[in-house]
Amino acid sequence: MKISPTTTHPLSSACLIVLLAKSNLTRATYSIVAVDREDQFIGGAGATCVQGRNVLAALYHGVPGFGVLHTQAVTLEGDSEAVLTAQDMIQNEEDPEIILERMRNLDNNTLRSPIYLDLYGFPDTVPDYEFRQNAVVDLKGRAAAYTGPSIAPLYEALGTFGTSQEDNQGTIGDRFAYSVQGNVVEELTVSVVAKGFAGLHDPRGEGCDLPDRMMIALLAVPDTGTDSGDARCIRADLDPKEAVGTPAAGAFIKVEAADSTVLLELNVIGDGVKDPTVELKSMYDDWRLRNPCPGGSTATTASSDTITPTATDAPTPAAHSSGDPCSSQIVSASVTVGTVLISFLASS
């Protein structure tokens, strides 16, 4: 599902200050959640333009043996009722569309300001879920995502125009299922990540397993230059302080087995000086030497699997009013800039 850029309902500066101060805003983020049904692996990978942010901790919520959830844009806390309920529902093997609808029902506090309404003509209620971008994929091969319609107006109020907020789901044969989602990104970003995961991005070819496909999916973005990636990192006209000409500032990959073993966890908390995927790829190559592809190879392999894209557009539940004029139910995290985290937990 793609949410087109809009100039409708700009947010007031006063409410934006309160909203952003109380939120985990992983602005300009693209990510993929995916499963390997043959090996019973779940995983996620992503990148963001936010400097000094642990994007892995902000986005990834895995349920080993069942499925995985990502939450981005104005992210939900890991111990929030919506996230915990979603994880329980994933474990109960409920349909991802129903899980996302339940998350919205639990995330319906509202952003309300009479002054802001009078000056800007915004609706009298803006439910929190409209600022979220959530995605669920499970080991039954089902995938769904929700991209909130108020994400674009939020960034436009901050002066960021002409970016894409969208999601895309698909399967690769009977083995892999995925969802790719991006907000405040260049228009080609989501499709580029999906093609990379599916092995349709030249010249890297197709990955040998879930970790390999995840790495290729992330690398597909810098491979395309400025045509894809986080707009704020790329375009100086949006934010000269953050625009460094790279597709992101921080990036991660995580893959878990059905028994909760963390097979791979690479996390670059970037300072915005260089492309984090370069460092991530170097770390990945070190891990791959210790954990070769099936058959002993450390290189990608080719296959005749085909990609089957699907799209979702789940119904939106009714809003519920809150007494807090600028509620977002988010607490910001503090992370040291320039730190690199790496775990080799499945070394041979």
Indicate which CATH number applies to the domain containing 181. Answer: 3.60.20.10
pLDDT in tens, 88-134: 999 999 999 999 999 999 998 875 544 443 444 455 578 889 989 99
CB 307 within 8 A of CB 200: yes
pLDDT of residue 294: 87
- 212 — alpha (psi -120 to 50), left (phi > 0) or beta? alpha
Flag whether 250 is in a domain.
yes
**Top-confidence range, 73-87, 119-133, 222-236, 266-280:** 73-87
Number of domains in the chain: 1
Flag whether 186 is in a domain.
yes
Overall pTM surpassing 0.85 (yes/no)? no
For the segment 166-179, the average pLDDT, to the nearest whole number, is 98
Flag whether 348 is in a domain.
no
String of DSSP letters for 260-307: S-EEEEEEE---SSS-HHHHHHHHHHHHHHHSPPTTS-SS-------E
Higher pLDDT pick, 199 / 25: 199
Question: What range defines the domain where residue 170 resides?
Answer: 2-343
Flag whether 331 is in a domain.
yes
Lowest mean pLDDT among 14-18, 47-51, 193-197: 14-18
Question: HSE-up of 180 (CA within 13 Å, CB side)?
Answer: 27
Q: Binning pLDDT at 50, 70 and 90, where does residue 190 land? A: very high
Residue 232 confidence (pLDDT) above 90: no
Residue 305 confidence (pLDDT) above 50: no
Flag whether 238 is in a domain.
yes
pLDDT of residue 127: 87
